[in-house]
Structure 1
Amino acid sequence: MSAIVASLILTVIAGVHFAWAFGVTWPATSEQDLVRRVAGFEGMDRMPPPAASALVAVFLLLGCHIVLVVSGLAQALAPVWIYGIAIWVMVAVFALRGGASYTRAWRALTPVEPFATMDRRYYGPLCLVLAVLISQVALF
């Protein structure tokens, strides 16, 4: 069940990043509003280049594939040992990103509202939940 839930979350987030790569500003009303909601860096007034959002989406889908392979729900496309390493890298990345939401250093880098509040309420906890779900897949 953890693999399915994590995969669904990763796929939805990938879809949103693909949408941003194509210029969609949802859930905001403008690009500037979107930047304030999802980036949070002082002085940033434009979204990253479309290729960057698309690359994030591709990595999220790759993560979904890794989770499904390790859980036995998909076929491996590479040697299995690579998946064993990759899934723990994913756990570390999501745990670090989730934990960063509550540090002074991260807040100093990303002070713009509403990102700062949304990061503590939603983005950080979601990353921590993903770390837990993916670690369960890796362990069982």
Structure 2
Amino acid sequence: MLAPILSVVLATILAIAGLLHALWGFGVTFPAANEQQLARMVVGRRGITKMPSLAACLFVAVWLFAFAGLALMLGRFAPLPVSKWLVAFAGSGAALIFVGRGIVGVLPAFERAAPEQPFLSLNRRFYSPLIFLIGVGFALLTLALPYWTWRLGWLS
């Protein structure tokens, strides 16, 4: 019952993130005052003064939109263009990717590696927890698939 709501929430968050990455690739600096401040907020590498290239930003945007589409497929809002088992595996993979990034982002080794402020505090407070919750959302959607079975043969 909650799967459709979770699906739409995840897809919306991921689509907004994808749109932001695309806009950043084209030079929009929202929510920062300039490109250097934006780069320090969203990339955080030591000494960064410019945002990544258009191609890099669009690469991330396309993947975020793809994950948004996957969330809609898992919530059965979008048709399944491939077999059901492949969608289930994609959902599991998305869960692992997002949960993994969420966890890695708060490890002391990550924080010592390079990120500078304000990325470091934004990552600790917002980015990593949100990314972790997105991963949990994908896990819940994948486990809630109505055609999921827990025996060999898995999905019909």
1:87 touches 1:134 (CA, 8 Å); kept in 2? yes
Local SS of the residue matching 1:16: helix
Gaps of 5+ in 1: none
Measure how far apart 1:124 and its partner are: 0.5
What does 1:1-140 align with in structure 2 at a 5 Å threshold? 1-140=5-144
Task: Give, in whole Å, the separation in 2 of the partners of 1:36 and 1:65.
Answer: 29
Higher Rg: 2
Shift, 1:128, TM fit: 1.2
If the length of structure 2 is used for normalisation, what is the TM-score?
0.85
- The 8 Å contact of residues 39 and 110 in structure 1, kept in 2 or not, is answered as no
Q: Residue 147 of structure 2 corresponds to which residue in structure 1?
A: none
TM-score by length of 1: 0.94
Give the number of the structure whose residues are more often helix, by fraction.
1
Identical-pair percentage: 31
3-state secondary structure, aligned to 2:117: coil
- The ranges of structure 1 where at least 4 consecutive aligned residues each deviate by more than 6 angstroms after the TM superposition are none
Higher mean C-alpha deviation, range 116-125 or range 61-70: 61-70
Query: What code does the residue aligned with 1:119 have?
Result: N
Cα root mean square deviation, aligned: 1.1
More RCO (CA 8 Å, sep 6+):
1
